[in-house]
Amino acid sequence: MSAPRGQFSSNFGFLMAAAGSAVGLGNIWGFPTNVASNGGAAFVVVYLLLAFMLAYPVLMAELTIGRHARRNMVQALRGISTGPVSRATGTVAGLAGIAVASMILSFYAIVAGWMVAHLADPFAELVGASEAAQWLTGDSASRNFTFTAIFSGLTMLIIASGVEKGIERWSTLLMPALIILLLLLIAYVLTQPGAMSGLEAYLIPDFSKLSPLLLLSAMGQAFFSLSLGVGTMLIYGSYLSKQESLPRLGALVTLIDVGIAFTAGLLILPAMYVAQEAGTQIFAESGELIGGPGLILQVLPALFDTMGTSGLFVAIAFFALMVIASLTSSISMLEVPVAFSIESLGLKRKPATLLMGAIIFGISSLIIFNFETLFGLVVSISTEYGQPLLGVVLCIFAGWILRRDQLLKELKEGHEDIEQTLFWKVWPWYVRIFCPVLILLTFVQSIPVLWA
């Protein structure tokens, strides 16, 4: 227990790790899909507003609590508690955070496994192994089990190496690669016939689509995309040195996350219309654009198929992008239970990684073999309810349990003149009252529609 805690070696290392956690399947897949099915740019506008007005303040709550307490979510929330009620709440919320982070990883690893399989597929095609290729792109439980295991193993290998040598090193390597791949793919797709209709669908808003459910989806998307509520950002904040300005770093992470989601839209929607031009069906029977797995696993591969051999290389680039994005996110999820096992249960890092990785892989396997019943349920409990509700608890701990002078002291570290900033004038109140109310209202306003 008294072993020195890990720490990021630099500002840049933290930024890549935190942005790596934020940028993932949620940006490259979830965001464009949500845009496609929610009125194009109308969703983009609502999302941008929520990201800066709601998600950023909650991110700041997590980073501040984490760096102040320098502990995992359970110990951090207990540590700042002021009485038995807040201590009990902190323990329950901390454990719930660890459970939800593990649930998210359990389904995320399955989806990321699909990406690894699709990355392997063009190689199988190049060497003419057509049976293997069919298995790789099919939908069998054996394929899912194998590739979830491979992806989970990779995530565990990185986490076993620790904060600096694992998380930081791999994030600083993979994030620039991700950005380069994304830009190369956009440049390619935008020169193909049909791309401009995709840009129109993406960028011209249809405000008649605004609805209570759109607000709820946009909030869920923002929480998921910024990895909020489950203690990921809290634990990364706890590894950050006191020389950095938290509001500035938090703002950069938000900007990178939103920027990459927006940029991914410039790839995915045009790619869909290019696929249509090439003869692929891109609208579902309901008249909506196809989203979800159909989009990434059928529409886009159909497009790559029409491109001949060059399509194989485009497919490799695209699925490499997806795997990289997933990996920098999955390591941040696994770090949550691992840090808890190290600090609260007294395990060493390697056994802790093995134990938690194995438990989560067990849950993934359960989902794989009961896919129809469990997959949607786990996604919905963890991301639609778990993340925003835990976000409320974190706002309450940052806004009501931490005293104003404690907040000020923490935020002053690395930002001497914080008292003169607009951030300090607004945020403490904002996170105290406005954020919890806004999150709860977004839930309440959607209830009549959800249960109608």
Nearest to 170 by CA among 29, 31, 335, 317: 335
**How many angstroms separate the CA atoms of 377 and 387, rounded?**
14
The DSSP letter of residue 71 is S
At which residue do the structure tokens 């490259």 appear?
28
Kindly report the number of other CB atoms within 10 A of residue 359's CB atom: 13
Nearer to ligand PFF, 26 or 198 (CB): 26
Please report whether residue 64 would count as binding ligand PFF according to CB under 6 A.
Answer: no
Positive or negative, the CA dihedral 309, 310, 315, 316 is positive
Min dist. Cβ of residue 21 to ligand PFF (A): 5
CA dihedral of residues 300, 101, 249, 429 (deg, nearest 10)? 120
| Binding to ligand PFF, residues 99-138 (CB under 6 A) | 101, 104
Beta-carbon-side half-sphere exposure of residue 52 (alpha carbons within 13 Å): 12
**How many angstroms separate the CA atoms of 13 and 168, rounded?**
5
Nearer to ligand PFF, 22 or 174 (CB): 22
Tokens encoding 330: 């999955």
Provide the mask over 315-354, with x wherever binding to ligand PFF is found by CB under 6 A and - wherever it is not: --------------x--xx---------------------
Min dist. Cβ of residue 419 to ligand PFF (A): 32
Nearer to ligand PFF, 232 or 442 (CB): 232
Nearer to ligand PFF, 222 or 275 (CB): 222
| Binding to ligand PFF, residues 199-228 (CB under 6 A) | 224-225, 227
- Return the residue of 89, 137, 148, 232 that touches ligand PFF, per CB under 6 A: 232
Nearer to ligand PFF, 104 or 201 (CB): 104
Percentages helix, strand, coil for the chain (3-state, rounded to 5) are 80, 0, 20
Nearer to ligand PFF, 274 or 338 (CB): 338
| Binding to ligand PFF, residues 2-61 (CB under 6 A) | 21-22, 24-27
Summarize as ranges the residues that interact with ligand PFF (CB under 6 A).
Answer: 21-22, 24-27, 101, 104, 224-225, 227, 230, 232, 329, 332-333
